Structure 1
Amino acid sequence: MNRFFVFIGALVCSITSIHAAEPVADKPNIVFFLVDDLGQRDLGCYGSTFYETPHLDRLAKEGMLFTDAYAACPVCSPTRASILTGQWPQRTGITDYIGAPLRPNDWKRNTKQLPAPYSDRLDLSSPTLAKSLKGAGYATFFAGKWHLGPEGWWPEDQGFDINRGGIDRGGPYGGNKYFSPYGNPRLSDGPEGEHLPDRLATETASFIEANKDRPFLAYFSFYSVHTPLMAREDLKTKYEDKRKRLGLEEKWGREFERDVRLVQDHAVYAAMVEAMDQAVGKVLTKLDELGLRDNTLVIFTSDNGGLSTSEGWPTSNSPLRGGKGWLYEGGIREPLLIRWPTRIQPGSVNTTPVSSPDFLPTLLEVAGAQPEENQILDGSSLVPLFRGETMPKRSLYWHYPHYGNQGGAPGAAMRHENWKLIEWFEDGRTELFDLSKDIGEQVDLAGQEPVKAAQMLQELRMWQKGVGAKHSIPNPAYDPSKPNGRAAKRPDPQSKR
């Protein structure tokens, strides 16, 4: 992983504003890439030496790379709602992945707590990015994973003019999954064997071309790299050969009851990452072909950390701890690349902590759009960072009163400057880490810094109250003599990987 730090050292420079040679149009185009389950360390520009992501590495060199960007939740649906609304998930009511048991009475696992209730759809009255930009004259397009409610609550009901593939499912679970036929009611089947990420890229590129003469929002929300773990055979073979050539061997650690992968060596997952990168490249190439690059703001990010403790154990987030479903950095710290050639200095690296709710106010400012009347915005615009300025110091928060599928437990967290506090609801235990010295969260300082821990916990409590956070409660049926449902068996080392 040293390559990441070499990259940062080479690129750290004064982040100054860049003046366009010609005036920029009042309403720049916006392309937003959201990848499912992609860990921060899954890109070459963030340090991966096994996965190959040349298009995204180039995007990083042409724009701004954020070192401390976060998802609003360690699982998908809450983060997705947060991006679209500019609000913490607790305000939207979507605090777990949609499809988990909705109410405490629905819970059947033997756990110490009963998870809090949550909403299984984004309310149709919610202000969304697409609604606001559509009102400002933008053509709006959605491709890929939605996972924010049943039919009637799909992208076309939330401000998007066009929907290609966005339905209730959390993965490509219809038809032949990642290959056509897709069995998706919002995406017609292509030729047999057509690859889903490439098809969605084609749809996005076609929309861009059709709307090249007006401002547009192209929101490309990948199903990749979520399970099922499936890849093109050519790319899978490439990475099987690469793994052998590099002599990579599996290495495992422990995260409570779960094994955690510590080495990136999963050939199928690597192939999925590269196919995702190629799809991004196809869309960026279309912008170049149409002469739209300079007047297009491109954002690339993920919805939670990489999957490292469950469901195939496909990636490693090391040196970050844990992964998807956990409140440790591996579960919430994300890749974030932003390119806007006339406004952002190429090769910039920004260390400001930012989070999912920041995207909507950023894009409203960029587009000259106004939030709806009485709209609550929890995020802050990132535009000052584009100009080389700083943002006021603030805290970031998480509240996840659920048990995911990856071994994590109900808890909450906050980050203020370099301090990170985690509270675990099962036993009220708190952990405190200094991320400037301990990015792997190995040294709990709560006992050494009780005043700091108490202050942060008090602030976290105030925030929870302010956003109406719901809490998990003790499970009266919990039997400590039985398995707790948080353990899982990792794949056999000889199994297909």
Structure 2
Amino acid sequence: MKFKFTKFFVLIIFVVTISCIEKTATKLNEKVNTTQVANKPNIVVLLCDDLGYGDLSSFGHPIIETKNLDKLAESGIKLTNLYSAAPVCSPSRVGLLTGRSPNRAGVYDFIPGIKKSEDNRDLVHLQAHEETIPALLKSVGYATCLVGKWHCSSRFNSDLQPQPNNFGFDHWFATHNNAGPSHKNPKNFVRNRQEVGEIEGFSSQIIVSEAINWLEKHEDNNPFFLEVAFHEPHEPIASPENLVKKYLPKAKNREEAEYFANVENVDIAVGRLIEYLQKNYNENTLVIFTSDNGPETLLRYEKAKKSYGTPGELKGMKLWTNEAGFRVPGIVSWLGKNNFTGTSDAVVSSLDFLPTFCELAGVVLPKRKLDGESFKSLIEKGKFNREKPLIWAFYDAINDHRVAMRMGDWKIMARLEVDNKELPHIHNLYDGNEDFVKSAKMTDLVLFNLKDDINESTDLALKNPKVFEKMKKEFEIQYKELLAGSHIWTRGEE
């Protein structure tokens, strides 16, 4: 009996011990998981539409008041060398989401509505195989949301092309392109594939309210990724009357006052969102503010009657490959973290958002070719030395030099010619013009030192032959590689 009791007693001890170990391990795993989740920052991208480099008061505008964005810049990093992926909306947005040159994704120009064309432009969309920021973050537990402008497909809210939810957005509330009929009382929003109808108010305030409502329902401890894609200050511009009256005494005319008011209305909307984040998610939330491209040119097209954006001291405007086309205001602020603050002239691109967010969130980078690189070191320590050159090939550019590359302080640009004639303006690469575009040669190369000459006023190609030859060689390599990887649209892809 004694032996049997002892054996039974030992068995009980063994079972209890195993149970305790399992419970302890479970608690440790829960603690580890909680720690891992806590270490992943919430990420918020605030993206304006057609906001110029000089349109914020913190970037030198003498009249427009943007106190909330100025305060955000003071709490974080003001980026004076931040570039968008393209000098126009759709390719810029695709580049931001994928970390790849939009040419690789096959988005060469803004995406119009459906209208069958010889160059297959009606087929253009962000393709399902592209790996995006929200999808990658979602794979490690992030909740994801898009509010505002989409403009990454020709067939919006259709089963014929992927929609925002196909790229990792759990919740989306968006328009295809601009808010219509204007920023005031828009009628064209879609929420998760359901048309919403007319909404009272102004677009910037409407989408921030949607974002806050989504965050209110975010009950778990998982981090979130939120993209707030403002329609402002893209035409058709509409602004609150009280703000318009505020600027009338200082503006040239009512149209300019409406533009100034439009930018401040965005600033007020940003202020509402930041206040909410500070009250509810102030421990670990990374906020990035920027623009999709430079400012629209006044009266470039009939409806651009209120486009009074400014490039500041930069040369060019939207649709240019000179600096003002894609050098945009940039602000990074990490709420709850004691990281680097101040002004940085480090060369950063929206292409870098994906690899940066992936590194911060512990996501393995896609194996496919990326053109961006992580600037985590800049956020944390204020130091970032870009290794990859930035290259743009925009075949519908207003200026003559349609291909450009920045490497370090230097920028080189080139015209494109076929048989000694300028390459025609092109919206899309397809099987009917692929060989023709790829046969174009880079000519009339010019060189600028952007550190000393921000407005690209002096060509230094002859004065700095060694630098010029080095830049030219790298430029040719980079452009050849980009051409080889550019997507070609064919009618069979429908």
**What TM-score range do you get, normalising by the shorter chain?**
0.7 to 0.9
Superposition deviation, residue 63 in structure 1: 0.7
The equivalent of 1:51 in structure 2 is 64
- Tell me which of 277, 282, 297 is aligned to 1:287: 277
Superposition deviation, residue 457 in structure 1: 2.3
**Partner Cα separation in structure 1 for residue 309 and residue 57 of structure 2:** 14
The equivalent of 1:29 in structure 2 is 42
Find the residue that maps to 2:54 and give its secondary structure.
helix
Find the residue that maps to 1:141 and give its secondary structure.
strand
Superposition deviation, residue 382 in structure 1: 1.0
The answer to whether the 8 Å contact 1:142/1:166 transfers is: no
Superposition deviation, residue 387 in structure 1: 2.3
User: CA 1:334–1:203 in structure 2 vs 1: closer, same or farther (change >3 Å)?
Assistant: same
- Tell me which of 202, 206, 214 is aligned to 1:199: 206
Please give the TM-score of this superposition, normalised by the length of structure 1: 0.77
**Partner Cα separation in structure 1 for residue 257 and residue 321 of structure 2:** 27
User: CA 1:455–1:267 in structure 2 vs 1: closer, same or farther (change >3 Å)?
Assistant: same
**Partner Cα separation in structure 2 for residue 344 and residue 76 of structure 1:** 34
The equivalent of 1:8 in structure 2 is none
Superposition deviation, residue 361 in structure 1: 0.6
The equivalent of 1:306 in structure 2 is 295
Superposition deviation, residue 104 in structure 1: 9.3
2:265 is aligned with 1:275: yes
The answer to whether the 8 Å contact 2:60/2:312 transfers is: no
The aligned amino acid for 1:133 is L
- Tell me which of 413, 432, 455 is aligned to 1:422: 413
The equivalent of 2:222 in structure 1 is 214
Once the two structures are superposed, the pairs formed by residues 42-81 of structure 1 within 5 Å of their partners are 42-81=55-94
Once the two structures are superposed, the pairs formed by residues 331-480 of structure 1 within 5 Å of their partners are 331-345=325-339, 347-372=341-366, 374-388=367-381, 390-404=383-397, 407-409=398-400, 411-425=402-416, 427=422, 428-468=443-483
The equivalent of 2:137 in structure 1 is 133
User: CA 1:44–1:294 in structure 2 vs 1: closer, same or farther (change >3 Å)?
Assistant: farther
The answer to whether the 8 Å contact 2:83/2:349 transfers is: yes
Find the residue that maps to 1:364 and give its secondary structure.
helix
Superposition deviation, residue 23 in structure 1: 11
Superposition deviation, residue 96 in structure 1: 1.2
User: CA 1:74–1:384 in structure 2 vs 1: closer, same or farther (change >3 Å)?
Assistant: same
Bigger Rg, structure 1 or 2? 2
Once the two structures are superposed, the pairs formed by residues 151-300 of structure 1 within 5 Å of their partners are 151=158, 152-167=161-176, 169=177, 171-173=178-180, 176-186=181-191, 188-189=196-197, 192=200, 194-211=201-218, 213-243=221-251, 266-290=256-280, 292-300=281-289
The answer to whether the 8 Å contact 2:205/2:269 transfers is: yes
**Partner Cα separation in structure 2 for residue 142 and residue 456 of structure 1:** 39
The aligned amino acid for 1:195 is F
Q: Deviations over 1:312-342 (max 9, x none)?
A: 3422213111111001111111111111134
The answer to whether the 8 Å contact 2:287/2:335 transfers is: no
Superposition deviation, residue 403 in structure 1: 2.0
Q: Which moved more, 1:327-336 or 1:453-462?
A: 453-462
The answer to whether the 8 Å contact 2:188/2:198 transfers is: no
Over the residues paired in the alignment, what is the CA RMSD in angstroms?
2.8
**Partner Cα separation in structure 1 for residue 267 and residue 452 of structure 2:** 32
Find the residue that maps to 1:380 and give its secondary structure.
coil
The answer to whether the 8 Å contact 1:180/1:196 transfers is: yes
Superposition deviation, residue 53 in structure 1: 0.6
The answer to whether the 8 Å contact 2:183/2:237 transfers is: no
The aligned amino acid for 1:157 is N
Please give the TM-score of this superposition, normalised by the length of structure 2: 0.78
The answer to whether the 8 Å contact 1:71/1:303 transfers is: yes
User: CA 1:351–1:35 in structure 2 vs 1: closer, same or farther (change >3 Å)?
Assistant: same
User: CA 1:347–1:24 in structure 2 vs 1: closer, same or farther (change >3 Å)?
Assistant: farther
The equivalent of 1:491 in structure 2 is none
Q: Which moved more, 1:386-395 or 1:195-204?
A: 386-395
Find the residue that maps to 1:59 and give its secondary structure.
helix
Q: Which moved more, 1:412-421 or 1:461-470?
A: 461-470
Unaligned runs of 5+ in 1: 1-21, 108-116, 244-248, 251-263, 472-497
Find the residue that maps to 1:468 and give its secondary structure.
helix
User: CA 1:337–1:210 in structure 2 vs 1: closer, same or farther (change >3 Å)?
Assistant: same
The answer to whether the 8 Å contact 2:340/2:378 transfers is: no
The aligned amino acid for 1:443 is T
User: CA 1:331–1:26 in structure 2 vs 1: closer, same or farther (change >3 Å)?
Assistant: same
Unaligned runs of 5+ in 2: 1-34, 423-442, 487-494
